[in-house]
């Protein structure tokens, strides 16, 4: 297997799927000749031509609207929104049109659009380049929401999203675009949308996380074992909708304690959904209150980014807090 960064794995998935299926088209701001703001679309225009990999004007509403039309007429569009923060002008197209096409047409039309977009903090992008909008989309029936944390999953999950027949919001944690490297199968390769991944098994506490939060959770768990003898189980959710409910419940039933980590603002963040799921279906197994560690309830702060985004120290203290309850 080849060693790739998460960004290279995404590029590899796009090329592999475009070679496999000539209906796959990729477009967005600077996606063509300039090969994307992060170079995720490097080499696509050169190999597949400007009819299948091209740049668009600065119009997120137009990008998503065009993708919907292409999908209805039989193409497999993979539009890129340059930063997740820019998706809000297209919000109505996504939640009112894209998400509902199958339902409003009584199943006559599907709308297989995969919207790729980098999200989250960690690169000093400031207020308008660092937001985590996953909760908006998991609240919209009709959309699948996927977030990889490893190069292997990035390639496999993106390929599955492209091969599906319904819309997917594919959020890419840009903080780890180049900092994470791993083995990735060459050629055609898929990872099913839905199942979570057990990063490590443990018996004392369950940590639920996704995207760029997986690595600080792993480091915090390592410290908890070394300093306190606490054995944490870490679950990378990978797919936020549909989420792997059974994997979450099985882990909580085993450990009796739950910590949920995400970098979006804490209030009404995605972690609340996981907490509610555990409370509804596994409360009798809990030995301590469920704890959430998220970003703070402020606009994303440029100068205080390292404080805002949960790190291994905050997560380690969260682990100790949950374990201290008797």
List residues with catalytic annotation: 129
Cβ-in-10-Å burial (0-12, 13-18, 19+) of 49 comes to exposed
Task: Show the tokens assigned to 309.
Answer: 């985004």
Cα separation, 291 vs 121, in Å, equals 22
- Fill in the DSSP letter of residue 150: S
Question: Cα-Cα-Cα-Cα dihedral of 54, 167, 279, 228, to 10°?
Answer: -30
Cα separation, 193 vs 243, in Å, equals 9
First-residue to last-residue Cα distance in the chain: 47
- Identify the CA nearest to 162 among candidates 14, 58, 312: 14
Question: Cα-Cα-Cα-Cα dihedral of 268, 274, 275, 278, to 10°?
Answer: 160
The SS3 assignment for 264 reads strand
């Amino acid at each position: 297997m080849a060693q790739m960064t998460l960004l290279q794995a995404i590029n590899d998935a796009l090329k592999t799927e475009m070679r496999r299926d000539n209906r796959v088209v990729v477009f967005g701001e600077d996606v063509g000749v300039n090969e994307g703001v992060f170079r995720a679309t490097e080499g696509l225009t050169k190999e597949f031509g400007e009819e299948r990999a091209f740049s668009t004007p600065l119009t997120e509403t137009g990008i998503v609207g065009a993708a919907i039309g292409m999908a209805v007429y039989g193409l497999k569009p993979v539009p890129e929104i340059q930063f997740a923060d820019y998706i809000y002008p297209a919000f109505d197209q996504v939640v009112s049109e894209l998400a509902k096409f199958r339902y409003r047409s009584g199943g006559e039309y599907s709308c297989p659009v995969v919207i790729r977009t980098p999200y989250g903090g960690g690169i000093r992008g400031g207020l308008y380049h660092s937001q985590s909008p996953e909760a908006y989309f998991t609240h919209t029936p009709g959309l699948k929401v996927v977030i990889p944390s490893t190069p292997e999953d990035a390639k496999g999950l993106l390929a599955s999203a492209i091969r599906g027949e319904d819309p997917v919001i594919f959020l890419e944690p840009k903080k780890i675009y180049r900092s994470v490297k791993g083995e990735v199968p060459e050629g055609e390769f898929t990872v099913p949308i839905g199942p979570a991944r057990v990063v490590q098994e443990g018996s004392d506490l369950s940590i639920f996380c996704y995207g760029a939060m997986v690595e600080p959770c792993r480091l915090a768990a390592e410290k908890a074992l070394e300093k306190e003898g606490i054995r944490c189980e870490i679950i990378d959710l990978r797919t936020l909708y549909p989420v792997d409910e059974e994997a979450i419940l099985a882990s909580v039933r085993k450990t009796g304690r739950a910590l949920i980590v995400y970098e979006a603002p804490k209030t009404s963040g995605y972690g609340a959904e996981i907490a509610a799921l555990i409370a509804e279906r596994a409360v009798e197994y809990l030995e301590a209150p469920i704890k959430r560690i998220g970003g703070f309830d402020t606009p994303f702060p440029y100068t205080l980014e390292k404080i805002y985004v949960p790190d291994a120290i905050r997560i380690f203290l969260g682990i100790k807090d949950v374990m201290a309850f008797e």
